[in-house]
Structure 1
């Protein structure tokens, strides 16, 4: 039951264990627990590994449920997504939660009996616009249409940057952009060295991360460029990389240990709604070299070196220049760390909790839609 303040006591949140949504979900659940909210985390798609399960077990007030349900971007048909939504709605009803926080907002096409907040982390339409351009292929078109329905059905939407909120509004013909609450991460270990190498991390297989450009840049450098993350995705996507030094997938502790070595952190992404890996690098005090895309400009302007997307020569020059110029590198390390202070997990939890409370006050404990 809700308290007299209108704040939720128990929410159901969906997540996947494939990308950055996993860290977002755990950090948010931890922040909400400090505000008196219990979270049931329903995991869709591939099951979390042992390290991820251990991380979830360490979050106060979090109950983990591995559903085996398909992710919207891995499902084969609209019916599979709709059925997954109905299953999540049924579980929310069985648990008697006050609110549902969907990190896969396409599931909102189901009938939920409580307020629904859809978190806009990324989508195929905005990815396609940034990476490929032109008409959507058929497989993307039906998924985009389903997500548009989910966005319309949700009681509110939230996005991590103004740039991505506006891109989402355009791509899905929304009456207004989602509300913006920037992502936040708990700070890691500050850099204790000044590493003479470059580093990147993320879903290396994702064409939107543009590791091909960074691979070409690495071929032009004398210093090594290390890359952490999977090179093959759950959808079969893969990227051949000949010049990056591949580290494989690192857990949080290993990733933070690499950042603590003080590398120049690089992201050549053509599409990045926020960029948690960049934030983690900035929190560690790494100098940043980033692609000049709207989200990175919004977050890191005057705290990073920017290079046009796809410009491997430009990336090589920026990385090499910083590795040679210790003074400039030190200035950027300070600037990145200071900027990162804006994006802690408390600020994120406050922003999301504020939306949760407003939804309960406005929509009430039942949204007026049929319960599942």
Structure 2
């Protein structure tokens, strides 16, 4: 299985590997991009039987040239062959573009440049990004099975890439976070948000502008700078940096409200973590969020700072409604377990292996 250590795929891969280990499946996790930090390595070491491979190969979405991605894919295929893998699960489809993998190939459609761009722009994908889309398309064509974390994102993927049938849907699962013995220093009452703060698709700039209009502090966890450099300025948010799982658990458990203003979110693991803690949810009006959370969340009427601030203020002044939403979120989150994800993925793995044998 492939993963990177800079986003939600790391969390997804470890949870899935943990679930598969319980069924006797051994996983070698090949990490591309920046190497996992000490806390991440410790987290991986706690997964039974997991073999962690920090490859140093470039991230597919940050590589400078198509050739770099193809070479990385070839190197990953060699690692799979040398390790005796019976199946390959790619969380980055572009690595398959060169056709180097000999095993049954399951590709997860977590995100892609074409859908990321389409969610934010009416204009066509610019030329400098088209080769990235084309490599993803080539990878999808070579997959034995495709899988997406929601029917909404499966439909978007099928439309953008002209797939004959949409990817199978296996909802993400998450192990509930465990808070540390010692709590963080946090305000008594606060609004919480989390994610890649630097990513324009997550729309933290809108939340920052809304926060300037609120009397309650808005805390945000996550990196302000991306792997390609550059950083976002969010002066009205209380920035916590990139928290470990215990820190995130503490924030979710004590937050009065969790907010996502994302323009683009194929699933949203931070939302699931908040829901598992019983934190009420105020989410962007996205088809995927509606599919996953239904009536267990409130939805933002728009992305303008004034309307965001009004929606947040209304809920912050209504503790009874927040208690109702928190209970509904926790009940809905009980559907999205690691066991359910592992069972869904294991069924896809079996299908892929049987199809290859035929």
TM (normalized to structure 1)? 0.92
- Superposed displacement of residue 237, structure 1: 4.1
Give aligned pairs, total.
Answer: 352
**For residue 141 of structure 1, what is the aligned residue in structure 2?**
130
The yes-or-no answer on 1:357 pairing with 2:350 is yes
**For residue 301 of structure 1, what is the aligned residue in structure 2?**
294
Moved over 3 A (4+): 192-195
Query: Does the 8 A contact of 2:30 with 2:54 survive in 1?
Result: yes
The yes-or-no answer on 1:323 pairing with 2:323 is no
Alignment of 1:1-372 (within 5 A): 13-109=1-97, 110-189=99-178, 196-364=189-357
5+ residue gaps in structure 2? none
Deviations 1:31-87 (A, max 9, x none): 000111000000001111111111000001100000011111111111111111111
Determine the C-alpha separation between the residues in 2 that align with 1:17 and 1:210. Answer: 22
- Superposed displacement of residue 314, structure 1: 2.1
Query: Does the 8 A contact of 1:308 with 1:314 survive in 2?
Result: yes
Determine the C-alpha separation between the residues in 2 that align with 1:291 and 1:304. Answer: 10
**Cα separation, partners in 2 of 1:247 and 1:194, compared to 1, 3 Å:** closer
CA RMSD of aligned residues (A): 1.6
Deviations 1:206-251 (A, max 9, x none): 0000001100110110000000010010012422111011011101
- Superposed displacement of residue 322, structure 1: 1.4
Determine the C-alpha separation between the residues in 2 that align with 1:313 and 1:274. Answer: 26
- Superposed displacement of residue 320, structure 1: 1.2
- Superposed displacement of residue 133, structure 1: 2.6
| Larger RCO, structure (CA 8 Å, separation 6 or more) | 1
Query: Does the 8 A contact of 2:192 with 2:255 survive in 1?
Result: no
